[in-house]
Amino acid sequence: MHNLRLLNYLFSIITFVPYLVIGILVFGAKLNVNFTATILAFTISAAILMGLAMVSSGLRIVTKSTAPITWAINIFQNLFSGIAFPVVYLDTIFFPGVSTVSWFLPQTWVYHLCMLSMLTNPNLFDPVILIQYLKGLVFAVVLFPVGYKIFQWGVLRAKREGTLGHY
């Protein structure tokens, strides 16, 4: 099982490299990376995403279903977190004020911090930049323990009901 996860991460890294090369060579993307800021952004992002994964897994263990939950979250995330459309343009694309909702989505902060760290060479001592990182850190600090508790609850409930091995 762990080997499969390792292969998934390795595959993600291998498929990321061509995207990066195409972005730079074909589309002329200019990277302006601050490596310290990038490592910090990746660390905060990992905590956010692990928290969300634990929430999802905890609920999946109890409900034995992911289709409706995963579908709704993916649609909402793709539309409003900056994957399909940059957050700054959401008010124009949809309706005024919708971009405000985006900043309450944890995934928005994952994309925002990664773009900030790799495209703008941010100075982490600049208060404006530091506040951006602190906002993302708030999501990480809240989601990680909440995710852990929900996962723990799901496992304990499934054990109690005798359905841990069912799926």
Instruction: Encode pLDDT of 82-134 as tens digits.
Output: 887 788 888 888 888 888 989 999 989 999 999 999 999 999 999 999 999 99
pLDDT band at 5 (very low <50, low <70, confident <90, very high): low
pLDDT of residue 80: 87
pLDDT over threshold 70, residue 33? yes
Q: Name the pLDDT band for 60 (thresholds 50, 70, 90).
A: confident
How is the chain split into domains, by residue range? 1-30, 31-161
pTM (predicted TM-score): 0.82
Is residue 2 scored above 80 in pLDDT? no
Of the CA atoms within 13 Å of residue 86, those in its CB half-sphere come to 3
pLDDT of residue 138: 97
The mean per-residue pLDDT over the stretch 46-58 comes to: 89
* Mean model confidence pLDDT for the chain: 87
- SS in 3 state form for 10-23? HHHHHHHHHHHHHH
